[in-house]
């Protein structure tokens, strides 16, 4: 498999084998295969990577596989978001499957569909990373946004541990950039309300 090797000729002198030369290798993953594509189905992954969403937003990082404890180095095009169940492969088609790790999230439930649509609209205006499901929304925890949602009415916000798969085309890198014209005022009101109720 394509690897990157690291060599050392001077390990600590406290060890009797300090003059020995040793090496270890890192699997180099440079190809991305979206899930459920013909290309992905043609591969047979030998291991998997359990990654949080923030890790799946990176294009260059090192990780350890979950089954064989192999160190891998990911080198992908910048701006790519790795989807759950996607495959990453080496130049010779050795591959690993990416699995979205459970992480703390807010899950927004509604008493009726209109309330859920209203919550999604307000969060979308703030360019929040948002996962849209038929019966709920999921977003990264933010106490101020939770207060805003609870003020809208008709929704319940629960803290859960779950995989996060937001719509990556719906935001510009976080809810502090590219807001609509009313964001600063709305966010300030929500902050003041949160401080009032939570000290």
Q: Which residue has the higher pLDDT, 165 or 182?
A: 165
Alpha helices, DSSP H, located in 89-180: 113-125, 143-152
Q: Give me the residue label for tokens 């591959």.
A: 95
SS3 of residue 191 by DSSP? helix
For 92-128, the pLDDT digits (tens) are 999 999 999 999 999 999 999 999 999 999 999 999 9
Q: Which domains does the chain have, with CATH numbers?
A: 3-100 (2.60.260.20), 103-198 (3.30.70.790)
Q: How many CA atoms within 13 Å lie on the side-chain side of 112?
A: 4
pLDDT tens readout for residues 43-77? 999 999 999 999 999 999 999 999 999 999 999 99
At 2, the pLDDT band (50, 70, 90 cuts) reads low
- Name the least confident of 9-13, 65-69, 82-86, 128-132: 9-13
């Amino acid at each position: 498999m394509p690897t990157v090797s690291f060599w050392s000729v001077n390990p600590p002198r406290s060890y009797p084998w300090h003059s020995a030369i040793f090496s270890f290798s890192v699997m180099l993953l440079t190809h991305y295969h979206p899930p459920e594509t013909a290309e992905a189905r043609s591969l047979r992954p030998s291991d998997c990577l359990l990654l949080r969403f923030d890790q799946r937003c990176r294009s260059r990082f090192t990780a350890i596989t979950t089954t064989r404890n192999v160190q891998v180095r990911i080198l992908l095009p910048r701006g790519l978001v790795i989807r759950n169940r996607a495959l990453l492969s080496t130049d010779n088609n050795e591959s690993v499957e990416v699995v979205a790790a459970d992480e703390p999230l807010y899950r927004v439930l509604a008493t009726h569909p209109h309330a859920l649509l209203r919550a999604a609209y307000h969060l979308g205006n703030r360019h929040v990373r948002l996962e849209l499901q038929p019966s709920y929304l999921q977003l990264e925890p933010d106490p101020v946004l939770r207060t805003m949602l609870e003020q809208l009415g008709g929704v319940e916000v629960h803290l859960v541990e779950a995989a996060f798969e937001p719509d990556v085309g719906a935001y510009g890198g976080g809810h502090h950039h590219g807001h609509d014209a009313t964001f600063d005022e709305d966010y300030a009101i929500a902050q003041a309300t949160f401080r009032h109720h939570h000290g």
